[in-house]
Amino acid sequence: MTAAVRIAAPEGLTLPTYADVERAAERLKGVAHHTPALSSATANRRTGASLVFKAENLQRMGAFKFRGGYNAISALSPEQKKAGVLTFSSGNHAQAIAYAGKLLGVPTTIIMPEDAPQAKVEATQGYGGEVVRYDRYTQDRLEIGNRIAAERGLTLIPPYDHADVIAGQGTATKELIEDAGPFDMLFVCLGGGGLLAGAALAAKALNPDCRVFGVEPEAGNDGQQSLRSGKIVKIGVPKTIADGAQTAFLGDLTFPIIQALVEDIVTVSDAELVDAMRFFAERMKLVVEPTGCLAAAAALTAKVPVEGKRVGVIISGGNVDLASFARLIAPSA
């Protein structure tokens, strides 16, 4: 039995539901890794909570985005698959689409910022994606994406504001709760909200009492402002080491879901992200990218009181080039 949570959709849009998450889980079975749910005595001692980490840094291509990308391409018609897909991304969604396209035999074109980490650009090209670069501080990626998609007859799969992407991302939380739940609280990192919206759909269906929190970088708290003001707030591209959460606004699909199901959005500093990266490397032997540490940083520093609670934490990704990783976690002299 799953509780049906009804959420009012904006005019003309259809929001994904938990049934879509279940359908995505079927498509991903045997394709996406069923990543482990890990605990750490040190983390529990530090917080007085019982924390369970969902290690999506160990997902195929190194982040949960494989789930949404593969689900969205799988859902296309044979004609759409033949023509190919296009997306824009600062990195992990690009790799997800390129890799899923390769597995499904669908050609992929990726619009990427000039300053995207080189490891992410090369990985995307390595999976067979055609990369087109743009300047994210002066050019509008949506405009560029729409123009190229129209010229080439491609289907646009945006990184978060898409029902099948949201549903695919929700499968990570479905697995986490089925493996290790129920939880009192769940912490999820937040960029454009695909992961958080999917997580909230799964959590509220499987574990209705679970309080869901989004976590953003301090420098880019547009989601927090949006949730608290009741409308989508747009900000400039935030400067933070959490490059996967440099989105400037939530989506028309992700926002209403977050508004209905998420209790609050909290923020963490870049210094707190670095502490969490060090904790994962030293104590749990995990390589986690800065953005992947958002939820853990909030739980470890108890941005919301966690003592005595069972807490789920999504580690969202591990794609960081070795030089940046080494520089960030190096002990300061």
Contact residues for ligand PLP (CB under 6 A)? 63, 65, 92, 159-160, 189-196, 244-245, 247, 289, 291-292, 316-317
- When the beta carbons of 170 and 181 are compared against ligand PLP, the nearer one is 170
Minimal distance, residue 1 CB to ligand PLP, in Å: 28
- When the beta carbons of 81 and 274 are compared against ligand PLP, the nearer one is 274
* Peptide bond connecting 113 to the previous residue in cis, omega within 30 degrees of 0: no
Minimal distance, residue 79 CB to ligand PLP, in Å: 28
Neighbour tally for 305: CB within 10 Å: 11
Contact status, residue 253 vs residue 161, Cβ threshold 8 Å: yes
- Looking only at the bridges linking them, the beta strands covering 50-55 and 37-38 are antiparallel
- When the beta carbons of 312 and 317 are compared against ligand PLP, the nearer one is 317
Minimal distance, residue 110 CB to ligand PLP, in Å: 14
CA contacts within 13 A on the Cβ side of 199: 34
- When the beta carbons of 52 and 81 are compared against ligand PLP, the nearer one is 52
- When the beta carbons of 81 and 276 are compared against ligand PLP, the nearer one is 276
Listed residue (215, 239, 241, 189) closest to 65, CA to CA: 189
Active site residues: 65, 90
Contact status, residue 59 vs residue 320, Cβ threshold 8 Å: no
The DSSP H or E segment spanning 252 is: none
Minimal distance, residue 74 CB to ligand PLP, in Å: 18
DSSP for 209-241?
A: T-EEEEEEEGGG-HHHHHHHHTSPPP-PPP--S
Minimal distance, residue 147 CB to ligand PLP, in Å: 23
Minimal distance, residue 319 CB to ligand PLP, in Å: 7
User: What is the three-class DSSP state of 37?
Assistant: strand
**How far is C-alpha 315 from the chain's CA centre?**
9
User: Closest-CB residue for ligand PLP?
Assistant: 317
The Cα-based distances of 189 to 1, 264, 308 in angstroms read: 28, 12, 22
The Cα-based distances of 150 to 71, 102, 213 in angstroms read: 23, 22, 38
Q: Which residues, listed in sequence order, are joined to residue 109 by a DSSP beta bridge?
A: 86, 130
- When the beta carbons of 28 and 81 are compared against ligand PLP, the nearer one is 28
Residues 64, 89, 239, 259: is their CA dihedral positive or negative?
Answer: negative
